[in-house]
Protein backbone atom coordinates (compact mmCIF):
# COMPACT_ATOMS: atom_id res chain seq x y z
CA UNK A 1 0.00 0.00 0.00
CA UNK A 2 1.45 3.40 -0.96
CA UNK A 3 1.72 5.97 1.79
CA UNK A 4 0.86 9.63 1.31
CA UNK A 5 1.72 12.58 3.54
CA UNK A 6 -1.17 14.72 4.68
CA UNK A 7 -0.92 18.50 4.53
CA UNK A 8 -2.91 20.86 6.72
CA UNK A 9 -6.02 22.47 5.29
CA UNK A 10 -5.29 25.77 7.05
CA UNK A 11 -8.80 26.05 8.45
CA UNK A 12 -9.62 27.82 11.69
CA UNK A 13 -9.75 24.44 13.46
CA UNK A 14 -6.41 23.25 12.07
CA UNK A 15 -3.01 23.41 13.74
CA UNK A 16 -1.85 25.90 11.10
CA UNK A 17 -4.64 28.43 11.42
CA UNK A 18 -3.85 32.13 11.35
CA UNK A 19 -2.82 33.57 14.74
CA UNK A 20 -5.55 35.57 16.50
CA UNK A 21 -5.52 39.32 15.86
CA UNK A 22 -3.89 41.63 18.36
CA UNK A 23 -6.33 42.83 21.00
CA UNK A 24 -7.39 46.48 20.75
CA UNK A 25 -5.59 48.83 23.07
CA UNK A 26 -2.31 46.93 23.16
CA UNK A 27 0.58 49.40 23.33
CA UNK A 28 3.22 49.43 20.57
CA UNK A 29 5.85 48.36 23.10
CA UNK A 30 3.76 45.40 24.26
CA UNK A 31 2.94 44.45 20.68
CA UNK A 32 6.65 44.40 19.85
CA UNK A 33 7.39 42.29 22.92
CA UNK A 34 4.57 39.86 22.12
CA UNK A 35 5.81 39.48 18.57
CA UNK A 36 9.05 37.87 19.70
CA UNK A 37 7.73 36.16 22.81
CA UNK A 38 8.72 32.51 23.17
CA UNK A 39 6.13 30.40 24.97
CA UNK A 40 6.35 26.96 26.53
CA UNK A 41 9.22 24.61 27.26
CA UNK A 42 12.35 23.85 25.28
CA UNK A 43 14.91 21.09 24.80
CA UNK A 44 18.36 22.08 23.53
CA UNK A 45 20.72 19.32 22.45
CA UNK A 46 24.37 20.28 22.76
CA UNK A 47 23.13 22.97 25.12
CA UNK A 48 26.41 23.13 27.03
CA UNK A 49 28.42 24.11 23.95
CA UNK A 50 29.29 27.65 22.94
CA UNK A 51 26.36 28.19 20.58
CA UNK A 52 24.03 25.99 22.63
CA UNK A 53 24.59 27.89 25.87
CA UNK A 54 24.02 31.24 24.14
CA UNK A 55 20.81 29.88 22.58
CA UNK A 56 19.60 28.66 25.99
CA UNK A 57 20.04 32.12 27.49
CA UNK A 58 18.21 33.75 24.57
CA UNK A 59 15.26 31.37 24.97
CA UNK A 60 14.98 32.22 28.66
CA UNK A 61 15.28 35.94 27.95
CA UNK A 62 12.31 35.70 25.59
CA UNK A 63 10.05 33.80 27.95
CA UNK A 64 10.72 30.06 27.91
CA UNK A 65 9.39 28.61 31.16
CA UNK A 66 11.15 25.23 31.17
CA UNK A 67 14.56 24.44 29.70
CA UNK A 68 16.18 21.01 29.32
CA UNK A 69 19.79 20.67 28.21
CA UNK A 70 20.71 17.39 26.51
CA UNK A 71 24.48 16.89 26.43
CA UNK A 72 27.08 14.17 26.85
CA UNK A 73 29.27 16.11 29.28
CA UNK A 74 27.83 16.73 32.78
CA UNK A 75 30.97 18.54 33.97
CA UNK A 76 30.48 21.13 31.24
CA UNK A 77 26.69 21.24 31.34
CA UNK A 78 26.16 21.65 35.07
CA UNK A 79 27.99 25.01 35.40
CA UNK A 80 26.04 26.29 32.39
CA UNK A 81 22.79 25.11 33.95
CA UNK A 82 23.59 26.57 37.37
CA UNK A 83 24.43 29.96 35.88
CA UNK A 84 21.24 30.08 33.83
CA UNK A 85 19.13 29.00 36.79
CA UNK A 86 20.61 31.77 38.94
CA UNK A 87 19.92 34.37 36.25
CA UNK A 88 16.38 33.12 35.59
CA UNK A 89 15.08 31.83 38.96
CA UNK A 90 11.45 31.75 37.81
CA UNK A 91 12.25 29.21 35.08
CA UNK A 92 12.86 25.50 35.57
CA UNK A 93 16.10 24.18 34.11
CA UNK A 94 17.20 20.53 34.01
CA UNK A 95 20.08 18.55 32.54
CA UNK A 96 19.94 15.11 30.97
CA UNK A 97 22.99 13.15 29.87
CA UNK A 98 21.95 11.97 26.43
CA UNK A 99 23.69 10.17 23.59
CA UNK A 100 21.80 11.58 20.61
CA UNK A 101 22.76 8.57 18.48
CA UNK A 102 21.01 6.17 20.87
CA UNK A 103 17.26 6.12 20.23
CA UNK A 104 16.52 4.57 23.62
CA UNK A 105 18.55 7.25 25.41
CA UNK A 106 16.77 10.01 23.48
CA UNK A 107 13.29 8.57 24.01
CA UNK A 108 13.90 8.11 27.73
CA UNK A 109 15.18 11.65 28.18
CA UNK A 110 12.27 13.17 26.24
CA UNK A 111 9.81 11.16 28.35
CA UNK A 112 11.48 12.33 31.56
CA UNK A 113 11.42 15.97 30.47
CA UNK A 114 7.79 15.66 29.45
CA UNK A 115 7.09 14.35 32.95
CA UNK A 116 8.77 17.38 34.52
CA UNK A 117 7.40 20.10 32.23
CA UNK A 118 4.15 18.53 31.07
CA UNK A 119 4.85 19.34 27.42
CA UNK A 120 7.63 20.31 25.02
CA UNK A 121 7.05 23.13 22.54
CA UNK A 122 10.57 23.80 21.23
CA UNK A 123 13.54 21.68 20.17
CA UNK A 124 16.93 23.05 19.13
CA UNK A 125 19.14 20.30 17.69
CA UNK A 126 22.59 21.79 18.22
CA UNK A 127 24.61 18.70 19.18
CA UNK A 128 27.31 17.99 16.65
CA UNK A 129 30.97 17.36 15.87
CA UNK A 130 33.44 18.50 13.25
CA UNK A 131 36.83 17.37 11.99
CA UNK A 132 39.19 17.88 9.08
CA UNK A 133 40.31 14.74 7.25
CA UNK A 134 41.33 14.35 3.62
CA UNK A 135 38.77 12.36 1.66
CA UNK A 136 41.36 9.71 0.74
CA UNK A 137 42.07 9.14 4.44
CA UNK A 138 38.53 8.99 5.84
CA UNK A 139 37.74 5.59 7.27
CA UNK A 140 34.27 4.07 7.28
CA UNK A 141 34.26 4.66 11.04
CA UNK A 142 35.09 8.39 10.54
CA UNK A 143 32.26 8.71 8.02
CA UNK A 144 29.68 6.85 10.07
CA UNK A 145 30.46 8.72 13.30
CA UNK A 146 30.12 12.12 11.64
CA UNK A 147 26.73 11.31 10.11
CA UNK A 148 25.54 9.39 13.17
CA UNK A 149 26.00 12.37 15.47
CA UNK A 150 25.25 15.29 13.16
CA UNK A 151 22.45 13.83 11.05
CA UNK A 152 21.01 10.70 12.63
CA UNK A 153 21.20 12.26 16.09
CA UNK A 154 19.22 15.27 14.94
CA UNK A 155 16.61 13.01 13.35
CA UNK A 156 16.19 10.83 16.43
CA UNK A 157 15.75 13.87 18.68
CA UNK A 158 13.32 15.51 16.24
CA UNK A 159 11.31 12.31 15.95
CA UNK A 160 11.08 11.79 19.71
CA UNK A 161 10.05 15.38 20.43
CA UNK A 162 7.58 15.45 17.51
CA UNK A 163 5.93 12.31 18.87
CA UNK A 164 5.62 14.03 22.25
CA UNK A 165 4.10 17.15 20.68
CA UNK A 166 1.60 15.13 18.66
CA UNK A 167 0.63 12.95 21.62
CA UNK A 168 -0.05 16.02 23.76
CA UNK A 169 -1.80 17.88 20.95
CA UNK A 170 0.41 20.96 21.20
CA UNK A 171 2.01 22.86 18.35
CA UNK A 172 5.77 23.21 18.32
CA UNK A 173 8.93 24.40 16.64
CA UNK A 174 12.06 22.43 15.75
CA UNK A 175 15.28 24.12 14.65
CA UNK A 176 18.18 22.11 13.23
CA UNK A 177 21.77 23.38 13.29
CA UNK A 178 22.91 23.12 9.69
CA UNK A 179 25.85 25.09 8.27
CA UNK A 180 27.09 26.96 5.23
CA UNK A 181 28.96 23.67 4.77
CA UNK A 182 25.68 22.24 3.54
CA UNK A 183 25.58 24.89 0.81
CA UNK A 184 29.21 25.38 -0.26
CA UNK A 185 32.45 23.43 0.05
CA UNK A 186 34.51 24.43 3.06
CA UNK A 187 37.93 25.87 2.24
CA UNK A 188 40.80 25.42 2.87
CA UNK A 189 40.07 22.55 5.30
CA UNK A 190 39.03 19.14 3.88
CA UNK A 191 35.55 18.45 5.23
CA UNK A 192 33.68 16.08 2.93
CA UNK A 193 32.05 14.02 5.70
CA UNK A 194 31.10 17.13 7.69
CA UNK A 195 29.76 18.89 4.60
CA UNK A 196 27.68 15.83 3.69
CA UNK A 197 26.21 15.61 7.20
CA UNK A 198 25.06 19.23 7.08
CA UNK A 199 23.68 19.03 3.54
CA UNK A 200 21.65 16.03 4.67
CA UNK A 201 20.25 18.07 7.57
CA UNK A 202 19.04 20.78 5.21
CA UNK A 203 17.23 18.19 3.08
CA UNK A 204 15.83 16.46 6.15
CA UNK A 205 14.49 19.76 7.45
CA UNK A 206 12.39 20.23 4.32
CA UNK A 207 10.95 16.72 4.43
CA UNK A 208 10.02 16.96 8.11
CA UNK A 209 8.48 20.41 7.57
CA UNK A 210 6.20 18.94 4.90
CA UNK A 211 5.21 15.86 6.90
CA UNK A 212 4.65 17.54 10.26
CA UNK A 213 2.92 20.76 9.20
CA UNK A 214 -0.49 19.17 9.71
CA UNK A 215 0.39 18.74 13.40
CA UNK A 216 1.35 22.41 13.73
CA UNK A 217 5.05 21.58 14.02
CA UNK A 218 7.38 23.91 12.14
CA UNK A 219 10.81 22.58 11.15
CA UNK A 220 13.53 24.99 10.08
CA UNK A 221 17.31 25.18 10.09
CA UNK A 222 20.04 27.72 10.60
CA UNK A 223 23.25 27.72 8.57
CA UNK A 224 25.98 29.62 10.40
CA UNK A 225 29.17 30.69 8.73
CA UNK A 226 32.48 30.51 10.57
CA UNK A 227 31.75 31.24 14.21
CA UNK A 228 34.22 32.29 16.88
CA UNK A 229 33.62 29.41 19.28
CA UNK A 230 35.86 27.16 21.36
CA UNK A 231 35.93 24.66 18.46
CA UNK A 232 37.69 27.27 16.33
CA UNK A 233 40.17 28.51 18.92
CA UNK A 234 43.86 27.76 19.28
CA UNK A 235 47.12 28.81 17.65
CA UNK A 236 47.02 25.72 15.40
CA UNK A 237 43.92 27.15 13.71
CA UNK A 238 45.23 30.70 13.25
CA UNK A 239 45.99 30.28 9.54
CA UNK A 240 42.49 28.88 8.98
CA UNK A 241 40.86 31.69 10.95
CA UNK A 242 42.69 34.24 8.79
CA UNK A 243 41.63 32.44 5.61
CA UNK A 244 37.99 32.31 6.73
CA UNK A 245 37.94 36.01 7.58
CA UNK A 246 39.47 36.96 4.23
CA UNK A 247 36.79 35.02 2.34
CA UNK A 248 33.95 36.70 4.27
CA UNK A 249 32.62 40.10 3.08
CA UNK A 250 32.30 41.19 6.72
CA UNK A 251 35.99 40.44 7.17
CA UNK A 252 35.58 38.53 10.42
CA UNK A 253 34.13 35.44 12.05
CA UNK A 254 30.72 35.57 13.66
CA UNK A 255 29.92 35.55 17.36
CA UNK A 256 27.40 33.02 18.74
CA UNK A 257 25.21 35.89 19.96
CA UNK A 258 24.70 36.85 16.31
CA UNK A 259 22.74 33.64 15.76
CA UNK A 260 20.14 34.36 18.42
CA UNK A 261 18.04 36.67 16.25
CA UNK A 262 17.41 33.88 13.75
CA UNK A 263 16.76 31.37 16.53
CA UNK A 264 14.21 33.57 18.30
CA UNK A 265 12.51 34.45 15.00
CA UNK A 266 11.94 30.77 14.21
CA UNK A 267 10.57 29.77 17.63
CA UNK A 268 8.57 32.90 18.50
CA UNK A 269 5.23 34.31 17.43
CA UNK A 270 7.06 36.25 14.72
CA UNK A 271 7.80 33.00 12.88
CA UNK A 272 4.23 31.69 12.80
CA UNK A 273 4.26 31.26 8.99
CA UNK A 274 7.84 30.02 8.60
CA UNK A 275 8.55 26.35 8.05
CA UNK A 276 10.97 24.50 5.80
CA UNK A 277 13.29 27.51 5.76
CA UNK A 278 17.05 27.64 6.15
CA UNK A 279 18.42 30.93 7.43
CA UNK A 280 22.04 31.62 6.45
CA UNK A 281 23.96 33.69 9.01
CA UNK A 282 27.45 33.94 7.55
CA UNK A 283 28.58 37.55 7.14
CA UNK A 284 28.01 37.17 3.41
CA UNK A 285 30.45 34.34 2.71
CA UNK A 286 28.04 32.36 0.52
CA UNK A 287 27.30 35.29 -1.81
CA UNK A 288 30.36 34.21 -3.80
| Torsion angle (degrees, nearest 10) of CA 9, 13, 17, 21 | 150
Residue whose C-alpha is closest to residue 190's, from 138, 242, 148: 138
User: One of 15, 96, 198, 205 is an active-site residue; which one?
Assistant: 198
Angle between helices 74-87 and 50-61 (to 10 degrees): 20
User: One of 179, 197, 223, 268 is an active-site residue; which one?
Assistant: 179
Strand 66-71 with 172-177, pairing? unpaired
Residue whose C-alpha is closest to residue 168's, from 126, 124, 217, 206: 217
194 catalytic per annotation? yes
218 catalytic per annotation? no
User: One of 105, 194, 215, 223 is an active-site residue; which one?
Assistant: 194
187 catalytic per annotation? no
- CA dist 231 and 189 (Å) reads 14
C-beta separation of 256 from 54 below 8 A:
yes
Catalytic residue ranges: 179, 194, 198
Amino acid sequence: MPRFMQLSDGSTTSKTSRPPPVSPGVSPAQRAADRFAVNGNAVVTGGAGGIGAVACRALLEHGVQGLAIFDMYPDRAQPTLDKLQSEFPEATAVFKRVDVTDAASVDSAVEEVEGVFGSIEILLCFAGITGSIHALEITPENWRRMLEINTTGAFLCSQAVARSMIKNGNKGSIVLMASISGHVTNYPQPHVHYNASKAALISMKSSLAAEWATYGISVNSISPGYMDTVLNEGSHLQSLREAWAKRTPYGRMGHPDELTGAIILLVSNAGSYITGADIIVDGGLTVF
